[in-house]
Structure 1
Amino acid sequence: MRRHGWRWVLIGVLGLLVTGCFAPSGPRFGDGSAVPEEVSRVRLPVRPGPDGTWVVNSPGEGLLGQGRVLVRRAGPDRRGWRLALPAEFALTSQRPGSAHSAFVGDHSVVLVGGREGRRGPSEIAGLDLTNGRLAWRLRVAPDSRVFSYDEGATVLVADCRAGSCRLTGVSYPTGRRVWSRTAPGAVKVLDGCRADAFVADPVVGRAPCHPYLVTRDRVSLLDMADGRLYERPGLRIPPGGIDRITENHGRITLATAPAKGSCRATVVSESGGDGAQDLGWRYTFVWDQPQAPRDPATGCRWDRTLPLTVVRSLVLPDAEGALVLDPYLGLRKQLRRLAPGEYLTADETRVEVVHASGRPDRPLHPTRTPLRPPGLSPAARFLTRLLWQDGRRLVLLDHQNRPLWEAASACRAFMGDGEGPGVSLTYCDGPDLVTVRPAWKD
């Protein structure tokens, strides 16, 4: 009897597991049948910029900021507020760390101010998210650089002059200086994630985020918590100095800027570990980016803000045709060269796309699936599965690429967080900000 009893218990447990695994899920965008249902409509709290985006847009924190207005939208577990920013902290730059920008992390916002007639940041401020006010303000030296990363506990201010850098760690919650040191022989501090990285915003968890201190002959990792430096031994600095730096699976890759006149640049990739130099590679080429205008300082087609890492590929803009490499193996793996005038980009689905002026886009790796559903322009943005924005048009498709729902948005629509990934869509309907969620079609 005991054996039979256990058998029935096991059958019951298996039944519960199977029922849970195969029970029908709720409606979702992209399931081919659910359509948007309006759950919120409010007056647009702050207008986006001319390109239809906001400098600050954090759906998880409910933040929207542009110009001198920063708003937190009310939610189930947060109070809404509206903050009129001082002119010095007006939000106009999309590049965190530059004047008039913001660092937005998990439950932390650092504003970077700028004053007329001054290059670079002038002041930084911490935001009290709960009450919607500036919690502290701190002046920074002229030509300083400001760094902050997603953990947001410490803000780094780097003041580099001839022959040394003064480094200061500032506590985000209080605005107090928690450590300070002078690094003699230092040339610059590089941001390994945003302004000086090979890609503007690496996917969370894919690449480490920290600053690097650079001298004329070495690179050191800077610990944000206490200001300690950890030298990367064996890493050779290429002639011409370092302009960009990135790290991939423990391998550091450095790139120089194109030289004035010749446009020659060098990329060096090494593990940085003792005895591991033989695993690295170095490549010198003539820099030419078809999608970039001529840089007045160098005479080269060069735009420093364009990424060199596209999804899974490292792209070196060689004048003979862009080289596409594995970012870790580099020259040790077979190279792929694009035709002159072609360059690599990525669509919103993270598919690597080869683009050239006057030619149709094509995927880097052949696929049976078209880059975009029929009827959408090359500029169409992927929002989530079967949901696209093409100019002002929003369209949700079924599995046969037939429209299930359409709307018009005067701003760049965005997905929001909720009970599951991508469960809400927010867009601008005339003067209103509208949020919709998937619902079963009647």
Structure 2
Amino acid sequence: MMRRQGWRWLLIVWTGLLVTGCFAPQGPQFGDGRAVPEEASRIRVPVPPGPDGTWTVNSPREGLLGQGRVLVRREGPDGRGWRLTLPGEFRLTSSRPGSAHSALVQDHQVVLVGGREEGRGPSAIAGLDLENGRLAWRRPVAPGSRVFLYDYGAATVLVAGCRTGSCRLTGYSRYGQLLWSRTEPGAVGVLDGCRADAFTTAPPDADRRCHAFLVTPDRTAVLDMDTGRPHWNAALPIPRGGIDRITEDNGRIILATAPAEGSCRATVLAGPDGTGGEDAQAGWQHTFVWDQPQTPRDPRTGCRWDRTLPLLVGHSLVLPDAKGALLVTPYFGTRGHSRRLAPGEYLVTDGTENEIVRASGRPDRHLNEPVRPVRPDGLSPAARALTRNFWQDGERLLLLDHENRPLWEGTSACRAFLHDGAGPHVFVTYCDGTDLVDLRPVHRN
């Protein structure tokens, strides 16, 4: 009797999994080797992209496209469409979120950062009413301030103005309400661990948390966005030369100094996140001569250094040593497994998790599978994968099957991008001349 009941419960569970779709066959997906694009929608390009084929603001999740003085929300299942002509102060020309004439977008919140005509940095911030397409509030900011947007704490908008010996910190709610303001003596700057000051351009995830870090000459702190008070990390030593970039990854705080003028020496250091759950000796540190062969020499330092290039590529932390880039894991660093590239080689990605070794005058190769082709025949090193087997190379779009035979080809006058559609589909959006087209995957009959 008990065995019969056991089989009955097993049958119920199995049926439930089938009904909920856990074992149901997936629908067509780009990259499954059979799906081809079908046009799901076509509209006139609502706002032309910039000369490089991209928009200053492109947030597929929110349906936003913005360039110059025009910000548009495309109509979708989550809201109606609208078109907003922005005041000149808030025109969108900078792709660096938080700088003057840029936008910060996160968790259904949009904050525009205005700028002065004389180019002295941000002039004001404004909150966007995403539903109705209007500026809901405006707050002036002091010259030289930096603006940050977060999704934790009561204050989601942080304005930081740092002078010699102190930083003025101000927190606003998502509705523009002033929640706190304080001056922190001894601070020299505020660094954003997710955007301009991070090690990677990838969005935050379960491994990489998003925080504002207050920095002094000898310690760091995470800002409490409820109160503006710093939580100091006493377990993390500060390398000589000051902190240029910072990232939190899997419970590690990772710091990098800028290369020193003349010698180009720099230090990357990792240690516990200050929560008290780790041995302070569990971190690691590496000092080296900074050299990034893919970039020209910085006029100020004389070093081949570009702080906008990511140091986290795929699963590797790249330490751009002049002896040859050193690849380590973020957690163990030089205390764990590492490998060194040949001088002149560096690591790039094609838009996926692929780690690709590149060097001038040499063919690209996969880091861990050097004999596997990096990209299909006929595509240039500039080609990027939109998703599996779907490529854009200049204006050319190409979808391949598992044997790299073309399933579909097209051209795009802008940089194509992905976004979630209805149901399980992922759409590809591209520019067909003056039209903006959404493609969904379908299986041929």
For the aligned pair, the TM-score class normalised by the smaller chain equals over 0.9
TM-score, normalised with respect to structure 1: 0.94
Q: Is it true that 1:314 corresponds to 2:317 in the alignment? A: yes
TM superposition shift of 1:282 = 2.0
Sequence identity (%) = 68
Match of 1:162 in 2: 164
1:79 and 1:3, CA in 2 relative to 1: closer, same or farther beyond 3 A?
Answer: same
TM superposition shift of 1:421 = 5.1
Report the Cα distance in structure 2 between the residues aligned to 1:353 and 1:3, rounded to whole angstroms: 55
3-state SS of paired residue (1:295): coil
1:230 and 1:405, CA in 2 relative to 1: closer, same or farther beyond 3 A?
Answer: same
1:36-435 alignment runs, 5 A limit = 36-150=37-151, 154-173=156-175, 175-271=176-272, 273=274, 276-366=279-369, 369-420=372-423, 423-435=426-438
Report the Cα distance in structure 2 between the residues aligned to 1:266 and 1:258, rounded to whole angstroms: 8
Report the Cα distance in structure 2 between the residues aligned to 1:95 and 1:304, rounded to whole angstroms: 13
Report the Cα distance in structure 2 between the residues aligned to 1:166 and 1:191, rounded to whole angstroms: 16
Moved more, 421-430 or 365-374: 365-374
3-state SS of paired residue (1:111): strand
**Unaligned regions of 5+ residues in structure 1, if any?**
none
- Does the aligned pair in 1 maintain the 2:425–2:441 contact within 8 Å? no
**Code of the aligned partner of 1:287:** W
1:229 and 1:438, CA in 2 relative to 1: closer, same or farther beyond 3 A?
Answer: same
Residues 150-178 of structure 1 show CA distances to partners (whole Å, capped at 9, x for unaligned) of 459510001111111110001122x1211
Aligned-pair Cα RMSD in Å? 2.3
1:7 and 1:44, CA in 2 relative to 1: closer, same or farther beyond 3 A?
Answer: same
Moved more, 84-93 or 198-207: 198-207
- Does the aligned pair in 2 maintain the 1:266–1:285 contact within 8 Å? yes
1:150 and 1:414, CA in 2 relative to 1: closer, same or farther beyond 3 A?
Answer: farther
Residues 240-289 of structure 1 show CA distances to partners (whole Å, capped at 9, x for unaligned) of 11111112222212111111111111222222557833222222211111
- Does the aligned pair in 1 maintain the 2:204–2:210 contact within 8 Å? no
Moved more, 320-329 or 123-132: 320-329
TM-score, normalised with respect to structure 2: 0.93
Size of the alignment, in residue pairs?
Answer: 441
3-state SS of paired residue (2:363): coil
TM superposition shift of 1:17 = 4.5
- Does the aligned pair in 2 maintain the 1:210–1:223 contact within 8 Å? no
Report the Cα distance in structure 2 between the residues aligned to 1:178 and 1:17, rounded to whole angstroms: 47
Residues 321-356 of structure 1 show CA distances to partners (whole Å, capped at 9, x for unaligned) of 111111111111243111111111112121111111
1:132 and 1:195, CA in 2 relative to 1: closer, same or farther beyond 3 A?
Answer: same
Match of 1:34 in 2: 35
**Unaligned regions of 5+ residues in structure 2, if any?**
none
TM superposition shift of 1:2 = 11
Report the Cα distance in structure 2 between the residues aligned to 1:64 and 1:17, rounded to whole angstroms: 39
Report the Cα distance in structure 1 between the residues aligned to 2:144 and 2:443, rounded to whole angstroms: 55
- Does the aligned pair in 1 maintain the 2:365–2:371 contact within 8 Å? no
Report the Cα distance in structure 2 between the residues aligned to 1:163 and 1:385, rounded to whole angstroms: 50
Residues 341-384 of structure 1 show CA distances to partners (whole Å, capped at 9, x for unaligned) of 11111121211111111111111112664221233222211112
